[in-house]
Structure 1
């Protein structure tokens, strides 16, 4: 056994083991380094590392381990003679279990060659595994017995990053002589001349792995941040939380359908892996501005709701009017009015007050439309007076009358402006974030879902040609989700046919993109989404042909 620390020795002699000159070997190393730094796929990076090391050392086989949870986890094994190429899936893991870095008593596991290299950070060469007693090679001998292979020379190299942390171990087996045919079974020891090269490759490989790991950790942190923001909105409003989950799903379904188009305006539409990720980020953050929206407006279930539903205050005033009617009845009898007449007048007044109470309770619930006659009756009720140790006051305050007179839904003009401003805050918040180049369109995609194709939307009044396909897709997803949502406290969920009918009218009036809406219908996305998220009672027949026409 030879243990060698990483060293900076220049290559002074031709690399006879690989049959390459100094310049050729260095060129191979440089090319490998460039390839490693350019590789973004983790599995392909591991493969490049192992195959590159085999090529440089002219090794017949090799194994790559990565450090995880105080174990060396098997990741790859290649062997030319046995024609083996395995990755670390479950089946291979059963044959090549993780190697513990420490023994049961807590001591360092120096018995195994790979764990020794991982613990010490030193490269090790073995001339003949069967003649070496420094390590326990019973596993190798068992492998040879199963396969008929003859393991002889070994080279184990630590993968150390620029912080000198060991990330894994590269283990090569059976160096072959230079200029031999691939079919030869002859093998020689790994010579010292190759060690500086393989150590340099291992260092580059470790840095590439470390960079990939850091990028992955940054992405996981960012994804967790997006999830955290959605959960923060969910904590304010469970209804909006469901919306933030469903809109990205529906947007991605529409984007996938667009990628399948082979003709028409979307024939050339496609998304790279980075653009798909950009869309997912935009979807997760498309309503992030709602963290600024007051809860009593975000979840305004009734017209008089603020911190609490003020209909109860109105009903308390009506109770005082009931009390006044009963007192007036008693006073009338004391003044000489017959009991029958006084009680009849009282009963009529109480019936009138009960009718007022029921009407106000119904008016407080936001509906699709409030008639002029109902508005007029509200004004008449507002003029009723009540008092409690003070001068008489109108039954309804001016602000209460304004809210109860809302014709559709529960929001008045001021409330609606506050709600609409969430998209302004969303854009402002996203534009302040220093997104990297591949996420530079997040704010545009997320901030356009309330724009309309004719320029009458908000907040920027953009027209169709001023918006990306993805922003227009998210607009359709946002509308359809809102129409069909069955978890809103202020409205009943609409059926598929009702929702599609409304959106067909929005297409006709230039509010949503006509090409995308047609794709939404033709591809069946609306029904697949419905089967996943809607109640069975909402899923009814839709006349797609009429909507497309």
Structure 2
């Protein structure tokens, strides 16, 4: 009866151990599937495998991307108190193990780890010093130098769902309850192999997710660089805005007091900001280059100031011909020449005014607009048919208001029916009378609409829940704190910190850019001064502007990305109010 009871007890005990191991294996599997950090994942795999087998040490290798070697990923040894790789921050100094002979190309079966990687079968060695078929000279040399005794080895392949070996798990020196080194038992090996199988799937899934992320990153950067490449004047904008945005976001996360004391970004939040910053101008892919790059008022695909100058040339020549005809008719030569000189001086002055106004650098006062209209009334004679040599599309536009046959007297600057092209008004006088900058209202709307297109394009992408705000963050960088921005007229209360960060990053990059045709490169101090005006007008967030300066983001960016002649000193105290000092405790 006693014998039966003891036997039954042993069976129940063994069953209990097996159940506990199974439960632990399930728990480890759940933990592995939940871990998103690669270093923590690989470290967890090795530590759990060591615990299952009660091993003194272990190494986790991963197959290199080219499939030619096994790289050390994690190394642990309790007796030697060695911890390398993973989250330790300590690099593993050992070179990768070649899977193939570099000279002959033959598979490397001499090393047990490489053999397992090539063969895909587990190897359980009771004592490395007496084992046959594998070269343990390196192990023995290591032992001689450290006084350690490497004995039992359990080497297991990590196979993904396609039955491909992606790594190798090697455990060293199994121990019994007394701490004595023993062989890895036949009951432990299946558990470690099951763990290795789960680990391989977890690593492979993580690699697949990272590969998808890398692909998405690459695609987004290709798109952003293509947009920059469309215009030599905004090249690099899509690349530099993310730099400023992430610098400012990092500064906000580092705050322990003030308005950003509770501001933190998770890993997903950082990635969301990263993608949104790179995609913030993706709608510009639809914006015509000649609108984005419009450097003068008369510029379309080319600068039409050349046409206007030619008309002045014709008028001067006509004046000279008229003078000569008067002289031939017997009029006083000196009087004719004086009249001609006065006409030439007037033409030169008028053209100089038109040419200067075409640049559009400053506000055009009403009196200058009026003078432009007066100059436009000057006439010249056209002797050639201007309906010849045109595209089919332009010919169709001319049918609405056919030009008079040559010779025809025409105004120096005109707004013709054929100047209306789609949403654009290319009228010469209309464009010359732009009061600020070089863009008409229609062109400015087209450029502003790139934000709407950005959000519409991004909303069509199936972003996961953790990245759902990318369309908003990318498309809200032209919103203003006072609600006068676009496209939605959001107020500061309706904008997130990330939205406000993007607004400052976009403006500062544009102000500091040295590749714009319509302005000279500004010094950092000038750009900060403009940002300060925008803060006072409640166009950008005041707290973020202050952080932008006090954290030194403006200077950090300037030193890395701006020309040396732009990097002057900014008096931060001029823009940041001193914080009140707390009274001393009594």
TM above 0.5, one fold? yes
Question: Residues 498-513 of structure 1 correspond to what in structure 2 (within 5 A)?
Answer: 498-513=526-541
Q: Pairwise CA RMSD of aligned residues? A: 2.4
2:281 aligned partner: 287
1:78 aligned partner: 76
Kept in 2, the 8 Å contact 1:230–1:241? The answer is: no
Question: Residues 139-538 of structure 1 correspond to what in structure 2 (within 5 A)?
Answer: 139-177=138-176, 179-180=177-178, 184=179, 186-389=180-383, 390=406, 391-398=408-415, 399-538=427-566
Shift of 1:459: 0.8
Kept in 2, the 8 Å contact 1:161–1:207? The answer is: yes
Shift of 1:513: 2.1
Partner of 1:155, secondary structure, is: strand
In the alignment, which of 43, 48, 66 is matched to residue 47 of structure 1? 43
C-alpha distance 133-103 of structure 1, shift in aligned 2 (>3 A): farther
Distance, in Å, in 2 between the alignment partners of 1:474 and 1:172 is 50
**Residue by residue, what CA displacement relative to the aligned partner does 1:384-431 show, whole Å, maximum 9, x if unpaired?**
111221211111122111111112111011110111101011111111
Distance, in Å, in 1 between the alignment partners of 2:126 and 2:411 is 102
Give the stretch that moved more between structures: 333-342 or 215-224.
333-342
Shift of 1:90: 12
Distance, in Å, in 2 between the alignment partners of 1:154 and 1:38 is 29
Distance, in Å, in 2 between the alignment partners of 1:80 and 1:265 is 47
Partner of 2:195, secondary structure, is: helix
**Residue by residue, what CA displacement relative to the aligned partner does 1:107-144 show, whole Å, maximum 9, x if unpaired?**
22222211111111111111222222222222222222
Kept in 2, the 8 Å contact 1:61–1:80? The answer is: yes
Distance, in Å, in 1 between the alignment partners of 2:564 and 2:105 is 59
1:9 aligned partner: none
Q: Tell whether 2:108 aligns with 1:109.
A: yes
- Normalised TM-score (structure 2): 0.85
Distance, in Å, in 2 between the alignment partners of 1:347 and 1:313 is 23
Kept in 2, the 8 Å contact 1:15–1:193? The answer is: no
Kept in 1, the 8 Å contact 2:311–2:380? The answer is: yes
Kept in 1, the 8 Å contact 2:97–2:114? The answer is: no
Distance, in Å, in 2 between the alignment partners of 1:406 and 1:58 is 81
Shift of 1:497: 4.4
Distance, in Å, in 2 between the alignment partners of 1:164 and 1:394 is 80
**Residue by residue, what CA displacement relative to the aligned partner does 1:63-107 show, whole Å, maximum 9, x if unpaired?**
211111211112222222222222289996553442333463232
C-alpha distance 102-528 of structure 1, shift in aligned 2 (>3 A): closer
Partner of 1:459, secondary structure, is: coil
C-alpha distance 146-469 of structure 1, shift in aligned 2 (>3 A): same
**Residue by residue, what CA displacement relative to the aligned partner does 1:351-376 show, whole Å, maximum 9, x if unpaired?**
22222222222111121211222212
Kept in 1, the 8 Å contact 2:234–2:515? The answer is: no
- Normalised TM-score (structure 1): 0.91
Distance, in Å, in 1 between the alignment partners of 2:537 and 2:94 is 65
C-alpha distance 495-134 of structure 1, shift in aligned 2 (>3 A): closer
Distance, in Å, in 1 between the alignment partners of 2:122 and 2:12 is 21
Kept in 2, the 8 Å contact 1:366–1:491? The answer is: no
Kept in 2, the 8 Å contact 1:15–1:25? The answer is: no
Question: Residues 1-12 of structure 1 correspond to what in structure 2 (within 5 A)?
Answer: none
Partner of 1:300, secondary structure, is: coil
C-alpha distance 15-491 of structure 1, shift in aligned 2 (>3 A): farther
Kept in 1, the 8 Å contact 2:99–2:118? The answer is: no
Partner of 2:234, secondary structure, is: helix
Q: Tell whether 2:60 aligns with 1:64.
A: yes
Shift of 1:537: 4.5
Distance, in Å, in 1 between the alignment partners of 2:551 and 2:543 is 12
**Residue by residue, what CA displacement relative to the aligned partner does 1:322-356 show, whole Å, maximum 9, x if unpaired?**
22112112211111113322222222222222222
Shift of 1:510: 2.7
Distance, in Å, in 2 between the alignment partners of 1:59 and 1:288 is 54
C-alpha distance 106-506 of structure 1, shift in aligned 2 (>3 A): closer
1:122 aligned partner: 121
Kept in 1, the 8 Å contact 2:477–2:500? The answer is: yes
Q: Tell whether 2:32 aligns with 1:36.
A: yes
Shift of 1:485: 2.5
How many residues align? The count is 531
Distance, in Å, in 2 between the alignment partners of 1:368 and 1:164 is 69
**Residue by residue, what CA displacement relative to the aligned partner does 1:298-345 show, whole Å, maximum 9, x if unpaired?**
111111111111111111111111221121122111111133222222
Give the stretch that moved more between structures: 534-543 or 375-384.
534-543
C-alpha distance 323-548 of structure 1, shift in aligned 2 (>3 A): same
1:5 aligned partner: none
Kept in 2, the 8 Å contact 1:67–1:167? The answer is: yes
C-alpha distance 322-259 of structure 1, shift in aligned 2 (>3 A): same
